[in-house]
Structure 1
Amino acid sequence: MTASHIKDSERLHGLDGLRAAALLLGVVLHASLSFFPSQIWIVADDSRSIGAAWLFFAIHLFRMAAFFMIAGLFAHMMLARKGWAAFARDRLIRITGVLGAFWLPVMVGIVTALVWNAHANGLVTPGAPPPPPPTYDWTNVPLTHLWFLWVLTLFYAATLLLRAPFARLDRTGGWGRMVDRATGALVGPWTPAVLAAPLALALWLDPKWIAFFAVPTPDAGLIPHPSALVGFGLAFGFGFLLDRRRDLLGRIAAWSPLFLIVAVVAGFAAYRLAGGPVVTPMVEPTSQKAIAAAVMALAVYASALAAMGLCLRFLSTRNPVQRYLSDASYWVYILHLPLVMLAQVWVQDWPAPWPIKLVGVSAGVLGLCLVSYELTVRHGFMGRWLNGRRIPWRRAPQVAPAAAE
């Protein structure tokens, strides 16, 4: 695909596809956790393998960095089209409002799975008083897998706050042209390394960094982890600037094979440097930690850029199945985690190999979520809420009455 084609496209189908893939792969990601060789998840299956840890690492490495790149690009696109007031209202309703509406039902589903798992594994003594409930405040409130909605809210707020002073400085357009030239200089085979430098420093200075999990997931507390703000904030900001220079998407697509090679090599090295699925943090800022942080940061952005470029090259044609999954992916991701946990508890004692269980859990949850999307979301008010549009039900064509003879 040429740069001009990408620039002039009415809709970036390749990036829509990547956003859908990033969300839908979350089902597989969370389903794999119960099959790790050592227990790091509340559900521990009887069938475990290091292959599950490799699968998790490969998906986790690029998924959210790519998602936030796309989120930044689409944020600039929407802001330019709608203006700041409509942009703020839309994001408040479709992002922050979704978090507020679904957080409690999701928590109820997760707690239900935890209680069932405790009973299934004999961790609850009949007649014994229940343990005291945990105490939560703004520093440790569990955001669950919906944390990305809170982080997006913060990024959107920062975007609107920075917009006014930049617009005041850029009355003649000089600052904007300078930013666009800098963005053009940033995009090339060196892009992953340039983006990786700040993240590597943040990871190296982080005393709680667990290398296996790459960029820390800020799923607890209203103040995100500093390393997560750096890692995902850079991705969001880079995507935001890319929408000002749509022609650079063609350059990313052209360099995607190189990005993929760097991602595979750096990703393999990062896994080895992390020691595999080890959950012990690297506390001290040693030289070994510096190397691990640098290689991990390079792998994160190289893999995210490779995914973006490859999707621009191969998924940029209009495809009804891809568009449907793109629309459905938001609902699937919101709904999936409690269902995955319930399915993991259900199958944990089954005498079957872990790949079969993983496929069964992932496919079953995905199918259930898609059915619920079609029947309860897509064609009603929730479709308009989540996707910005409601798809009417198709009516059977009416046959014209035969003319009287």
Structure 2
Amino acid sequence: MTPGRIDHLDGLRAGLMLLGIPFHAALAFSGGGWLVSSPVDAPALAAMADFLHAWRMPAFFLVAGFFAGLVIRRRGPGPWFRGRLARLGMPLIAGMILTVPLQWILVGLFRYGTWPQTWWFVGRLAAAPSDWWVLHLWFLLDLLLYCAVLAMAVASPLRPVLGRCGDFIVDAVRRRPALTTAVVLLSAAACVLFGRAVWRVLQLEEVLNGLVSRDLLSFAPAFAVGVLLGCRRALLALITARVATVAFALVAITASLLVVSAPDSAIGAVVRSVASTTVGLTAAVVAVGIASRLLDRPRRVIRWLVDASLVVYIVHQPIILALAVGLFTLGVFGLAGWAVTVVAAFALSALAYELVNLTPGLRFLLTGRRAPQASLLTMRERARTTC
């Protein structure tokens, strides 16, 4: 694997995580009933949030699957998964302890306005497991589950069969790219649709208390495709070529139109489900293709963003909640409030990363790493030395 390919996918993964700042700020200022919500509707921000949601997380899980497929072949399933437990499980637990309760307090103050009612709200949330326990950290839990399934599959007798399936798909894409792509997309959509139906019949949402949602099924195809790309580099080159990127973009646009125009009926729900899976997968491939051209050379600032992205993501949401509530109180809404929140949240989150990076204990808790990572301070010192 050439360094440029690693750089552009690593940079894309970091960028997708950092896009959580404008996404969550848009949810706050669109007036759509999020954790905290502006009393003034902003349709443009709601549309932007829907646009980001359609492709950002599928692209993230595709890239995560790529690195999973790449590294698990080198290290083996056991050592690789133990590393994932540290790199994903430690930040998940630390984030749940350090940032989630703070968000409960901010939401409680926003909704009820008094401390007694806020503490009652916090106590009710802490009493029983629910999606409130993970909030914006849900993707770490889902990714851990995907990694566990992958490690078990690679360690099982099914590994040769999976390898032959990967070779078959690569050969089929070479011979009949359009037909094979259509079959893969429709198969992925059918699996998601069937899985959601089973999830609903078994009432797993109630069984799992919302800690794991049906999104686990929605993003599984993107992770699986990413694993295939990590194990079969030839396929990655085929689908990120310029012509292929344009073709996938057209498919994503067509599927998006189907999502919007599907009738409000049982058939329409099926159409939307199939089209949504298609949008996510095709848009994710387009994002990888674009990143391969824009982020094809290593840069210091990209390296810093890669190292900072996880901590920035963990701390950014409580910062957005606090900023949004403060701006609502001052009467600042709409695009102006969103822009101020995005800039301030990124700056404060970046500062938090620098402080975490300087503190060994916090660094290990929030990143799963003991060694210091890239820092803006060291970048400035190196720049001065070079000059």
| Corresponding position of 2:139 | 148
The answer to whether the 8 Å contact 2:38/2:333 transfers is no
| Corresponding position of 1:317 | 297
Equivalents in 1 of 2:167, 2:117: separation in Å? Answer: 67
2:93 aligned with 1:104, yes or no?
no
| Corresponding position of 2:106 | 113
| Corresponding position of 2:321 | 341
| Corresponding position of 2:2 | 8
Equivalents in 2 of 1:391, 1:205: separation in Å? Answer: 40
Name the CA shift for 1:130/1:379 in 2 (closer, same or farther; >3 Å).
closer
1:333 deviation in Å?
A: 0.7
Which of 243, 250, 256 pairs up with 1:261? 250
Code of the aligned partner of 1:180: D
| Corresponding position of 2:385 | none
Which of 61, 67, 72 pairs up with 2:65? 72
Code of the aligned partner of 1:176: G
The answer to whether the 8 Å contact 2:28/2:38 transfers is yes
| Corresponding position of 1:305 | 285
- Residue 317 of structure 1 aligns to a residue whose secondary structure is coil
- Residue 210 of structure 2 aligns to a residue whose secondary structure is coil
Name the CA shift for 1:192/1:337 in 2 (closer, same or farther; >3 Å).
farther
TM-score (norm 1): 0.78
Give the alignment of 1:261-280 within 5 angstroms: 261-273=250-262
The answer to whether the 8 Å contact 2:248/2:286 transfers is yes
1:74 deviation in Å?
A: 0.7
Deviations 1:56-104 (A, max 9, x none): 0110001111111111111122222223332122111111122112212
Which of 204, 221, 246 pairs up with 1:234? 221
The answer to whether the 8 Å contact 1:192/1:305 transfers is no
Name the CA shift for 1:136/1:246 in 2 (closer, same or farther; >3 Å).
farther
- Residue 354 of structure 2 aligns to a residue whose secondary structure is helix
Equivalents in 2 of 1:101, 1:72: separation in Å? Answer: 24
Equivalents in 2 of 1:293, 1:177: separation in Å? Answer: 30
The answer to whether the 8 Å contact 1:378/1:391 transfers is no
Q: Which moved more, 1:250-259 or 1:301-310?
A: 250-259
Name the CA shift for 1:196/1:68 in 2 (closer, same or farther; >3 Å).
farther
Code of the aligned partner of 2:108: V
1:148 deviation in Å?
A: 1.1
Which of 27, 30, 36 pairs up with 1:33? 27
Equivalents in 1 of 2:131, 2:332: separation in Å? Answer: 37
Larger fraction in helix: 2
| Corresponding position of 2:202 | none
Deviations 1:182-237 (A, max 9, x none): 2442584563662344335634884799xxxxxx9xx9634442xx2332211111
Equivalents in 2 of 1:312, 1:179: separation in Å? Answer: 22
- Residue 348 of structure 1 aligns to a residue whose secondary structure is helix
Code of the aligned partner of 2:141: W
Code of the aligned partner of 1:157: A
1:27 deviation in Å?
A: 1.1
| Corresponding position of 1:4 | none
Name the CA shift for 1:290/1:194 in 2 (closer, same or farther; >3 Å).
same
- Residue 240 of structure 2 aligns to a residue whose secondary structure is helix
Name the CA shift for 1:118/1:140 in 2 (closer, same or farther; >3 Å).
closer
Deviations 1:360-400 (A, max 9, x none): 11111111011121233267465566274424874969xxx
Name the CA shift for 1:109/1:289 in 2 (closer, same or farther; >3 Å).
same
Equivalents in 1 of 2:226, 2:319: separation in Å? Answer: 32
Name the CA shift for 1:127/1:378 in 2 (closer, same or farther; >3 Å).
closer
Deviations 1:276-335 (A, max 9, x none): xxxxxx8x7x22222222222221211111111111122121121112111111111111
Deviations 1:328-367 (A, max 9, x none): 1111111111111111111114444511111111111111
1:133 deviation in Å?
A: 1.7
Deviations 1:118-155 (A, max 9, x none): 355xxx49899946724754566632111111111111
Equivalents in 2 of 1:78, 1:118: separation in Å? Answer: 45
| Corresponding position of 2:172 | 185
Size of the aligned set, in residue pairs, is 364
1:24 deviation in Å?
A: 0.6
Code of the aligned partner of 1:133: R
Which of 170, 174, 192 pairs up with 1:202? 192
Equivalents in 2 of 1:383, 1:252: separation in Å? Answer: 37
2:377 aligned with 1:390, yes or no?
no
The answer to whether the 8 Å contact 1:180/1:244 transfers is no
Equivalents in 2 of 1:149, 1:127: separation in Å? Answer: 31
2:342 aligned with 1:362, yes or no?
yes
| Corresponding position of 1:213 | none
The structure having more radius of gyration, on CA atoms, is 1
The answer to whether the 8 Å contact 2:324/2:341 transfers is yes
Equivalents in 2 of 1:29, 1:115: separation in Å? Answer: 22
Code of the aligned partner of 2:231: R
The answer to whether the 8 Å contact 1:198/1:230 transfers is no
List runs of 5+ in structure 1 lacking aligned partners: 1-6, 210-215, 275-281, 398-405
Which of 149, 161, 182 pairs up with 2:152? 161
